[in-house]
Amino acid sequence: MTPTISLPTTAPDAPARLPALLELPNDTIKAWLAERGQPPMRAKQIRRWILQGRASAFDTMSDLPKGLREDLAANFTVFSTRVDKHLVAGDRTHKLLLRLADDKLIECVLIQDDGRHTACISTQVGCGMGCVFCASGLEGVARNLTVGEMLEQLILLRNLTRPDERLTHIVVMGMGEPLANLDSLIQALAVAGDPEGLGIGQRHVTISTVGLPAKIRQLADLGKQYHLAVSLHAPNDALRTQIVPTNEKTGIPEILAAADYFFEKTGRQVTYEYVVLGKMNDQAVHGRQLATLLRRRKAHVNLIPWNDVEGLQYRRPSDLDLNSFISELEKAGVSVKVRKRKGSEIDAACGQLRRQAEQVAKP
Ligand code: SAH
């Protein structure tokens, strides 16, 4: 029988590509199955194989009829992305460079530490925020990722854990601005949180944002228990606008007000991320200003010493500067930690691998 369901097609001159199952709504899959006389519960069975059974091909789905497995393989792929590069560091950090169906590249990372298995995922191809120190935004944003593409990153990373392990945490800290793709992100996280999906609790999910006040409020109103991390990076508007150009439109007070609203609504303490750029935002005076902003808030500060990005001239802070910055915060009673560096030998910081791959590809 010829299918009458309309499935996404590729451009006429592109090599034929089958649609990925995870990209399709459940109803479409059920209708496709019904045309073949298959019961609707098969849709759930197939999804369970991918989400929980670690299947990456239809022919391994052993409780499906053989004919159906062949039919599925002739019409769909399990995943829409292909692994272009897979790097593993000595500390078991894995990094994947994924090629999307339209040949664009994204990155995602698995960080394994103290019994935790954390997936760091991207939400966009590139980034439109233009933070001056970051590799992801150097070429701007190409497009938002789909729900399926975000889910796929989680599944592919989970499949790299050992069979007796599973993903325990998600950090939405890869390429892109998560709140600029909020609706799709929320749908992907819903599957991630579903016990029939990946079973990762909301409190184990951190969404990191450059600070889009209206979107932070929208997220707060969803009544979810996700953890919010706001990339502040500077304690005053003049310096922040220099480092995070979108700050010109928002300004720190509005971002803090939106973060306070998030805390009020969810009861979840907000983390402030602060990329430490040597001699730029790491002086004691900056520490004192930051302490003044945050001392009356229930907040936590995560300091991230800058990771080198080829072609950019910023510096990591000296130990002396970093320590006096930290002590200004501690004196004011602000909770602060320096983020541990993981997988540094495989360029685990976001956007770097893709950039190298694209530079090699350029004539
Ligand atoms: N768009 C989101 C997610 C960005 S990635 C946001 O702005 O929060 C997560 C964090 O890593 C952000 O705080 C980001 O500013 C930081 N980051 C990006 N590139 C970095 C680099 N080269 N060194 C250190 N931190 C970096």
The full set of domain ranges for the chain reads: 21-75, 82-361
How far, in Å, CA of 276 to CA of 303, rounded?
6
350 token code pair: 């976001």
Q: What are phi and psi of 167, to 5 degrees?
A: -70, 135
Q: Is 97 in the pocket of ligand 1 (CB under 6 A)?
A: no
User: First and final CA of the chain: distance in angstroms?
Assistant: 46
Q: Tell me, yes or no, if 350 is annotated catalytic.
A: yes
In Å, the largest CA–CA distance within the chain is 73
User: Catalytic residue among 107, 149, 177, 328, which?
Assistant: 107
- CA–centroid distance, 167 to ligand 1, in Å, is 22
DSSP β-bridge partners for residue 98 = 83, 106
Best of 273, 338, 355 to mutate for ligand 1, by most ligand atoms within 8 A of CB?
A: 273
- Of 230, 293, 311, which is closest to residue 263 (Cα–Cα)? 230
User: Catalytic residue among 120, 127, 131, 350, which?
Assistant: 350
Which protein residue has the closest C-alpha to ligand 1 atom 9?
Answer: 173
- CA–centroid distance, 156 to ligand 1, in Å, is 22
Secondary structure class of 150 (helix, strand, coil): helix
109: buried, middle or exposed (CB in 10 Å: 19+, 13-18, 0-12)?
buried
How far, in Å, CA of 20 to CA of 23, rounded?
6
Q: What share of the chain is helix, strand, coil (3-state, %, to 5)?
A: 40, 20, 45
Q: Do domains 21-75 and 82-361 have the same CATH topology?
A: no
- CA–centroid distance, 243 to ligand 1, in Å, is 12
How far, in Å, CA of 151 to CA of 143, rounded?
16
Please identify, by atom number, the ligand 1 atom nearest to the C-alpha of residue 312.
22
Cβ neighbours of 184 (radius 10 Å): 18
Q: What's the full length of the chain, in residues?
A: 363
Q: Is 281 in the pocket of ligand 1 (CB under 6 A)?
A: no
How far, in Å, CA of 325 to CA of 167, rounded?
34
How far, in Å, CA of 363 to CA of 99, rounded?
19
Count CA atoms within 13 Å of residue 360 on its CB side: 6
What's the CATH code, domain 82-361? Answer: 3.20.20.70
Q: Is 81 in the pocket of ligand 1 (CB under 6 A)?
A: no
302 token code pair: 């995560």
Secondary structure class of 231 (helix, strand, coil): strand
Q: Is 231 in the pocket of ligand 1 (CB under 6 A)?
A: yes
Residue ranges of alpha helices (H) inside the chain are: 26-35, 41-51, 66-75, 147-158, 182-193, 213-221, 237-243, 247-250, 252-266, 284-294, 319-331, 352-361
182 token code pair: 């909020």
Which protein residue has the closest C-alpha to ligand 1 atom 1?
Answer: 177
The DSSP output letter for 239 is H
Which protein residue has the closest C-alpha to ligand 1 atom 3?
Answer: 173
Fold that domain 21-75 belongs to in CATH: DNA polymerase; domain 1 (1.10.150)
What is the reported pLDDT for 360?
A: 66
Which protein residue has the closest C-alpha to ligand 1 atom 21?
Answer: 307
Q: Is 309 in the pocket of ligand 1 (CB under 6 A)?
A: yes
- CA–centroid distance, 173 to ligand 1, in Å, is 7
Q: Tell me, yes or no, if 131 is annotated catalytic.
A: no
What is the reported pLDDT for 101?
A: 94
DSSP per-residue string spanning 63-126: TS-HHHHHHHHHH-BS-S-EEEEEEE-TTS-EEEEEE-TTS-EEEEEEEEETTEEEEE---EEE
Q: Is 243 in the pocket of ligand 1 (CB under 6 A)?
A: no
Return per-residue pLDDT of the chain as tens, 363 residues.
333 444 444 444 445 689 999 889 999 999 999 999 999 999 999 999 999 999 999 999 999 999 999 999 999 999 999 999 999 999 999 999 999 999 999 999 999 998 999 999 999 999 999 999 999 989 999 999 999 999 999 999 999 999 999 999 999 999 999 999 999 999 999 999 999 999 999 999 999 999 999 999 999 999 999 999 999 999 999 999 999 999 999 999 999 999 999 999 999 999 999 999 999 999 999 999 999 999 999 899 999 999 999 899 999 999 999 999 999 999 999 999 999 877 777 765 666 667 777 766 654
